[in-house]
Structure formats: structure tokens, C-alpha cells
Amino acid sequence: MEMQNGAELCFPQFLNSSCRKPTLHWSKTVILNTVLSSISLITAALNLLVIISVSHFRQLHTPSNIFLLSLAVSDFLVGLLLMPAEIYRKSTCWTLGDFTCSLYTYLNCNIVSASIGSIVLISVDRYVAICDPLTYPARITVPRVRLSICLCWFFAIFYSSFYTKDVLIEPGRYNSCFGECLFIISDIAGTADLVLSFFVPVSVIIVLYMRIFVVAVSQAHAMRSHVTAIKLQPSQNQTNKSELKAARTLGILVVVYLACFCPFYCYSLVEGNVVNASSASFVVLVFYFNSCLNPLIYALLYPWFRNAVKFIVTLKIFQCDSSEVNIQ
């Protein structure tokens, strides 16, 4: 953000070590913060609706929806914690202290890692459902899904603790002046993060969905031409169509995710290892914006989500046995 020579100091009592306040015209600041704060509020509210829907209605307790629940939790935390903190960091002096800055850095890495893991798990779930449907019920069970999600979040906690250990041990070590919140990583750590958080998961997602696309096109063609190796019963045929529709929907989810995900790591490749510099705020917010788009995709493509939202906003979920309602 632009600085002027006559700008006020964040901490006037520290004349030689205080950062200068960002100098953006007040009208632009108000408009920008209003828009970004609205997006943050909408992100948290929409993902909270997804969390309540999948958690409350027993009919939605399926493996695929539980994976979506994990993604919705990480998206909810983005809207509730990360976006407000990034808006605050971008628009004014950081007056919350070095420890809070370190906590924000840690939560940022933790939540983003869990989100990436959830997307990979969703891709694996769709791969098994489309490419090996006969063994899907036996291989992808609710207990296994819950275990895999727990492991995903545990890995995110472990990875983020290791990745941000320097600022957790010594908060504010990278700040050049009071009122700043920076996180700088070494070239080795940056390269490792690029591989583990970008190249590996993106490669897995792309390979799985290329395979899913090939199989889905083949199955769709077989259903249209009524030529299949095995005669399908009507119920099986309907199940196949349902799985293909779910694959298309989650494929859109993954494509949107990658569209928001790639700019940040492309920026990291070009600009270097200053992860939380002001110049990176735009690509960071683009990445966070994906958390707002996910529930909108559900609303457009999932009838059960729209029906669940109607039950929630009309407070019908407080009725007796509302969890047993058919909302499909």
C-alpha cells in the first residue's frame, strides 16, 4: 500500500522504529473495507448453512457430503478469521501485537492446508465412485471418511506448526518496524511448501479428474446408446446418473478452487518468499474468495442444499424429528 512522506506514525512514541500508517484516501478505504467485509460475512454465513445442513439432516450423512462438510468448516474459518484479519492487516497498522500476528500466520497455514487436503479427499472419493463403483460402498465408508478427515486436519496442524515454528517461537522476528505483520520464509522452506502445498496436490487432483472425465464420458455415451457390457437395472442406471452428476458438480468445485488457488503460488514463484507482504494481499484475497464461491456452487447445483436452507431460515429444524425429513 502506498506511503507518503508526511504520513502519521503507527506508534508516535517510537519515532525511529514505528511504521507509517497506510495512506489511502478515506473514501476508497471505506468502500474497499465495506466490500471485503461483506464478502467475509457472506462467506461465513453461507458455509455455516452448509455445516448445519450436513450435520443436522440424517439423509445427508453420506461419505461425499462429509468430505464437503470438512471443506465447509475450513471455508467458514476463512470467512470468520482469515479474511477479517487480512482486511485489517491490509488497511491499517497492525496494533494487535506480535503474538496475534504469529497466531494469524499459523491459522492461515493450518486452515489453508486443511482446505487443500479436503479438496484432494473429494477428488479421491469421486475417483473411486466413478471408476470403481462396485467396490465404492465397501471402500468408502463413513468411519473411514471420518478417520481420513481427522488425519487430514492432524497433518494440517503438524505441518503448519513446523512451517511457522520460527514466528511461533519468536513472534515479530520478521517485522522491520512496529505496526507491521510479516512472515518471511527461507528459499528451502518456500520450495518445500511449493511442492507439498501446490505441485503434489494439484498433480493428484488433475490426474484423478482426467481419469474421472474419461470414464464419465464413456459411461454417458454408453447410457445414451444403451450399449453396455452389463445390463443395468433401472435403479442401477439412476445411481450411475447420480454419481455422474455428483462428479460434474465436484469437478466444477475443483476447477473454481484451482482458479483461485493458482495465482497465489504463481505470485510466490515470481516475487519470492515474502508471503504476507502488502503486495501479495490481492492474490491472498482471491484465494480466500474461493471460500465464498463454494457454497454458491452448492446452491446452484445441489437441490438438497437449497431445501436445507429453507428449513434452516424458516426455523423448521427446531421441529421434532426434523433431522429425519427428506430434503433430496
SS (H, E, C) the chain: CCCCCCCCECCCCCCCCECECCCCCHHHHHHHHHHHHHHHHHHHHHHHHHHHHHHHCHHHCCHHHHHHHHHHHHHHHHHHHHHHHHHHHHHCCCCCCHHHHHHHHHHHHHHHHHHHHHHHHHHHHHHHHHHCCCCHHHHCCHHHHHHHHHHHHHHHHHHHHHHCHHHHHCCCCCCCCECCCCCECCHHHHHHHHHHHHHHHHHHHHHHHHHHHHHHHHHHHHHHHCCCCCCCCHHHHHHHHHHHHHHHHHHHHHHHHHHHHHHHHHHHHHHCCECCCHHHHHHHHHHHHHHHHHHHHHHHHCHHHHHHHHHHHCCHHHCCCHHHCCCC
Which pLDDT does position 184 carry in this prediction?
A: 82
Report residue 58's pLDDT band, with 50, 70 and 90 as the boundaries.
very high
State pLDDT tens for residues 207-220: 888 888 788 777 66
55 with 69: CB under 8 angstroms?
Answer: yes
Mean pLDDT is lowest, of 10-14, 40-44, 117-121, for 10-14
Q: Is residue 229 pLDDT above 50, yes or no?
A: no
**Mean pLDDT in residue range 58-87:** 93
Mean pLDDT is lowest, of 172-186, 209-223, 311-325, for 209-223
Question: Which residues, including other chains, have CB under 8 Å from residue 9's CB and lie 6 or more apart?
Answer: 15, 18, 19, 20, 21, 179
State pLDDT tens for residues 190-208: 888 888 888 899 899 888 8
Which domains, from first to last, does the chain contain?
A: 26-324 (1.20.1070.10)
Which pLDDT does position 225 carry in this prediction?
A: 65
Q: Which has more confidence, 184 or 79?
A: 79
Rounded CA separation 17/64 (Å): 52
**Mean pLDDT in residue range 30-51:** 91
For the entire predicted model, the pTM comes to: 0.86
